[in-house]
Structure formats: C-alpha cells, structure tokens
C-alpha cells in the first residue's frame, strides 16, 4: 500500500486525470458550499491526504480518515486532522459534517450500502455526500485489480446506492467520457495479454510524456466545462451527489 500511495502522491499534482477530476468536482463543491467558508467537511478514505490539504480547506475545516497505517502516517506528518477508521464504522459522531466526500474508494468497499449509510449518518440535515466512483464493468482492468475493486457503477446502481442510504439524488453524471475509447483499448489489451505479463503495479498512475499529458489535460478540462451544461453519455467514472433532507436523523 505504501508504494501505491507514493505513486498516487506523485501523480496527483501533474497527471492529466487529476486535472480533469479537479475541473469536474471543484465547481460542484463550489455550488454546494454557496460561498460559505465555515463548513465542516469529511474525506472518507483520504489516502494521501492531498484533498485534505489542497481541495477541501477552501470551504472550511477538513477532517479525514483512512484504514491504511501509511495514510495515517502521511497525514499526521503533514499535520492533518486525520483518524483511523473504515467506511463501515466511521469514527465521528452523527450529524457532524456539512459535506462528506469519498473519491475512488466506495467501489472497493465490501458493503457499499453500509458505507453510504455511515456517510449519511455523520451528515447534518441538509448536508451532501459527494462521490467519485469507477463506472462500467467493460472498463475493468489492471487498475481495478490493484485497488481491489468489488464493483463498478452505472447511473442506475448509483441511484440505488443513494436511495439505500436515504439520500436524495442531486447529481449522477458520467465523468471522463472523452477518454473512454483510449481507456477501453488499454483495458482490453490488458485482459488479452494478462497471461504473458505481470499485471501488478498500477501503470495508469504513471504520468505520460509531457506533450501527451498536456494534451490530455486540456481534453479532460474541456470536457469538464462542457459537462456542466451537457450530460455525457458514458464515462470512466461517475460523479454522485446526494443530499440528506431536513428533518432526517
């Protein structure tokens, strides 16, 4: 896990995918926050802690938790407000947070419905869950195996997940439609050639050569801008936003 976290940390600043991720999610978080800077936010499965440092503090006070000892060590070395815990038993009191995020974690949780119920529990009434999850079983590949994905999602299963936690769907939308052909080709090749190579490690996190990475970053940022007005027909990920209605416990 330490090696994967280090690889992720190296990718988060420069890799085109993370440029697209931030371009997609920052406007959504801006809209939820509505200009407030006094919110309490929780990142569930906070990994390297990058989002606790760079993304969430702009809206208020950010807390996180993770099960990995390496994540806890990194977070505490960076003086982040981080606890050890898992998605099935979130180590915070009910009704504590305005926004609970989880980015590319829920697909690897054994019981995703229990995890979403826990996220809903720690939200204040009127609070929001914001998720990024992997989409479409057809796109399963080495990355899925390395990170021990249990499932990938469609809009239908995403809405069922929210409903099971008593959350109202606000947005369920595909992300990264523009790179689906490229990712599909890579993943099909990985499956076809698996018997002839070592599939360990996560090549997806290696930053491409600078010209390629720059071009792809422009592509996914452009898609993110377009997707705010035009729904994407497919994508490698799904953005899921749910709201805990007023009057619910």
Residue 38 predicted with pLDDT over 60 = yes
The pairing of beta strand 97-103 with beta strand 123-134 = parallel
Nearest CA-CA partner of 24 in 209, 247, 169, 224: 224
> Could you identify the residue written with the tokens 């503090």?
57
Which of 42-46, 186-190, 198-202 has the weakest average pLDDT? 198-202
169 beta partners: 242
Query: Do the Cβ atoms of 46 and 66 come closer than 8 Å?
Result: yes
Count CB-CB contacts under 10 A for residue 54: 13
Give the CA radius of gyration of the chain.
17
What CATH fold (topology level) applies to the domain 2-243?
Answer: Rossmann fold (3.40.50)
Query: Do the Cβ atoms of 169 and 247 come closer than 8 Å?
Result: no
pTM of the full structure: 0.94
Name 240's Cβ contacts closer than 8 Å, sequence gap at least 6. 129, 130, 131, 132, 133, 153, 158, 161, 162, 169, 171, 172
pLDDT (0 to 100) of residue 117: 98
Confidence of residue 1 (pLDDT cuts 50, 70, 90): low
pLDDT (0 to 100) of residue 189: 85
Q: How many whole angstroms separate alpha carbon 86 and alpha carbon 108?
A: 12
| DSSP letter, residue 100 | E
Q: Tell me the per-residue pLDDT of 92-134, one tens digit each, with 9 for 90 and over.
A: 999 999 999 999 999 999 999 999 999 999 999 999 999 999 9
Instruction: Give start and end residues of each alpha helix (H) in the chain.
Output: 2-14, 16-33, 50-54, 69-77, 112-121, 142-146, 155-164, 180-192, 210-227
Q: What is the mean pLDDT of residues 202-220?
A: 93
Q: How many whole angstroms separate alpha carbon 161 and alpha carbon 60?
A: 27
Domain ranges of the chain: 2-243
Q: Tell me the per-residue pLDDT of 220-237, one tens digit each, with 9 for 90 and over.
A: 999 999 999 999 999 999
pLDDT (0 to 100) of residue 146: 84
pLDDT (0 to 100) of residue 37: 97
pLDDT (0 to 100) of residue 142: 83
Which of 27-31, 84-88, 139-143, 238-242 has the weakest average pLDDT? 139-143
Q: How many whole angstroms separate alpha carbon 165 and alpha carbon 143?
A: 28
């Amino acid at each position: 896990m330490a090696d994967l976290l280090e690889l992720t940390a190296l990718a988060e600043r420069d890799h085109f995918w993370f440029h697209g991720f931030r371009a997609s999610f920052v406007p959504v978080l801006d809209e939820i926050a509505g200009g407030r800077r006094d919110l309490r936010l929780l990142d569930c499965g906070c990994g390297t802690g990058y989002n606790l440092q760079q993304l969430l503090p702009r809206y208020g006070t950010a807390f996180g938790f993770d099960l990995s000892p390496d994540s806890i060590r990194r977070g505490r070395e960076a003086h982040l407000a981080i606890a050890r815990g898992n998605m099935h038993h979130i180590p915070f009191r009910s009704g504590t947070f305005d926004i609970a995020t989880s980015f590319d974690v829920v697909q690897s949780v054994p019981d995703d419905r229990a995890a979403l119920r826990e996220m809903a529990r720690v939200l204040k009434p009127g609070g929001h869950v914001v998720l990024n999850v992997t989409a479409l079983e057809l796109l399963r590949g080495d990355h899925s195996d390395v990170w021990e994905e249990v499932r990938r999602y469609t809009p239908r299963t995403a809405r069922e997940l929210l409903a099971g936690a008593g959350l109202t769907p606000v947005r369920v939308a595909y992300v990264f439609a523009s790179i689906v052909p490229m990712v599909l080709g890579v993943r099909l090749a990985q499956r076809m050639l698996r018997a002839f190579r070592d599939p360990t490690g996560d090549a997806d996190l290696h930053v491409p050569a600078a010209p390629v990475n720059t071009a792809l970053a422009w592509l996914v940022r452009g898609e993110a801008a377009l997707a705010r007005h035009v729904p994407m027909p497919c994508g490698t990920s799904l953005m899921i936003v749910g709201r805990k209605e007023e009057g619910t416990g």
